Amino acid sequence: MDDAPSFLYDHREARSGIPDALRRAGFEATASQLPVGDYVLSERVVVERKTGSDLAASIKDRRLFEQVQRLAEAYETVVVIVEGTPVHIAPSSWRGSLARVLLSGAAVLVTEDADDTARWLGRLLTLERRGPTEARGRPRPRRPTEDRARVAQDVLTCLPGIAAVGARRLLEHFGSLAAVFGASGDELRRVPGIGPVRAGALAALFADLDVGGGW
């Protein structure tokens, strides 16, 4: 169909079966040797897909962060899909690494398997096709400064065991996102609702992070 949403995919992704699944769903897929990313959904959206084992390997050799940086330099919107549960790596390590990816501005999606990944890509393609009609390439509007607190809260709710209420309490207690990530276990325990077990788990997670700057 001429009106079917189309996308490019790296030729190595053919073995996953995802491009064929999207073709069966009515999308137009074209194989290519992509310089970065696994799926290019439009001029502004790129997707990097990693299985659980791929993610672990790319974290250990720090390739993940280099890939995300290159993707961000080439595309306005970067989506990292993690397919399945990471293996052969400590949960605190891969969660901390994904937190770094989130803080860099990329989106992270966790899918169950290749079929689930294909469904998510289909949703993204459909939404992107319905996107703004104005010409691509215009400067992306920045979120107002007053929204920075909301962004910081959204980031904290991605942490294990932290809901919206806990995120607000952490920000109210420490004053900034950077201060939260720099807190020790004892300091975290002073926040209402953060018990010793959760405080220890968060402190261990933050120890894996290497982020700078303040909010």
Q: Which two tokens stand for residue 4?
A: 């079917």
Q: How far apart are CA 70 and CA 172, in angstroms?
A: 35
Cα–Cα dist 156/184, whole Å: 16
Give the three-class secondary structure for 154: helix
Looking at residue 210, what is its pLDDT? Answer: 52
Amino acid identity for residue 160 in this structure: P
Residues in the chain: 215
Q: Are strands 107-111 and 6-10 parallel, antiparallel or unpaired?
A: unpaired
Question: Does an H or E element contain 30, and which?
Answer: strand 28-32
Specify the pLDDT at position 214: 42
- DSSP for 81-116, written as a single string: EEES---SS-HHHHHHHHHHHHHTT-EEEEESSHHH
- pLDDT score at 147: 66
**What pLDDT does residue 145 have?**
46
**Which pLDDT belongs to residue 151?**
80
Domains for the chain: give ranges and CATH numbers.
6-129 (3.40.50.10130), 145-207 (1.10.150.20)
**pLDDT, block means (10 residues), the chain with 215 residues:** 78 96 94 94 95 94 93 93 93 92 93 95 91 50 59 80 84 87 89 84 75 43
Determine the 3-state secondary structure of 78 from DSSP: strand
Helix (H) or strand (E) holding 187: helix 185-189
What secondary structure does DSSP assign to 41-73, as a single string? -SSSEEEEEEEHHHHHHHHHTTHHHHHHHHHHH
